[in-house]
A = this chain, B = another copy of it.
């Protein structure tokens, strides 16, 4: 036995999947749904809100509720993040990196612990937004111990952290990544122009150098409205 809002959710979702409601077209308004299902507006609203959170719809205040275009999303390959610029160009699209923050700060206890330093050591705080064809795709928040990268400039950050690292004769030996689904806070939501309460894909990672020092602690937020995130693993001989 479905509840009323589940009934409405099912009805709308069905329409989306079957193509009765096409991408970027309106679904019935909250008032229309309330009337046609003989429920209160709050109940109809709950159904639509759930489908927004699940990523099927998006709302525009004053206008209506629309079907999200999930079919025509482009693909981004996760292991190729390092070569973001090059990879995007290869698809004929235009990449751009916006450096939103580049500061020298004292880390919180949590950050210091992750980087294996103390709260008295300096760290770079870096926020970057990766765009493709002027659309924000990835938000990156990075903490880097200053002692490893003493002469880092905003110019390096505008391009590639890893190019800088290589130029300094360092080499990343290991990366530890954690995969986390989240509903982002408002700051992330604004930077990636996401819908409220939309689930998002997050990776937290630590890069470890050849001497076991930690080069960076980075949080990556991926905008799933326009892109799908894939990874290709080739058999190297022993994994499978």
Contact = CB atoms under 8 A, between A and B. Distances in A.
Given A54-B183, A183-B199, A178 B229 contact: yes
Interface in A155-210: 162, 171-183, 197, 199-201
A54 B83 CA distance: 32
Contact of A228 (B55, B174, B178, B201): B178
Contacts of A174: 232-235
Nearest to A240: B172
Nearest to A185: B54
A237 to B, nearest CB: 10
A180 B236 CA distance: 25
A179 B78 contact: yes
A239 interface: yes
B79 A239 contact: yes
A6 to B, nearest CB: 9
A162 B235 CA distance: 13
B179 A179 contact: yes
B231 A177 contact: yes
Contacts of A149: none
A160 to B, nearest CB: 11
A218 interface: no
A113 to B, nearest CB: 14
A119 interface: no
Closest 5 CB pairs of A and B: A181-B181, A181-B199, A175-B233, A172-B240, A177-B231
Interface of A: 42, 50, 53-55, 78-79, 82, 162, 171-183, 197, 199-201, 224, 228-236, 239-240
Given A50-B197, A179-B179, 9 more contacts: A53-B197, A54-B183, A78-B179, A176-B230, A179-B229, A180-B201, A181-B182, A181-B224, A199-B199
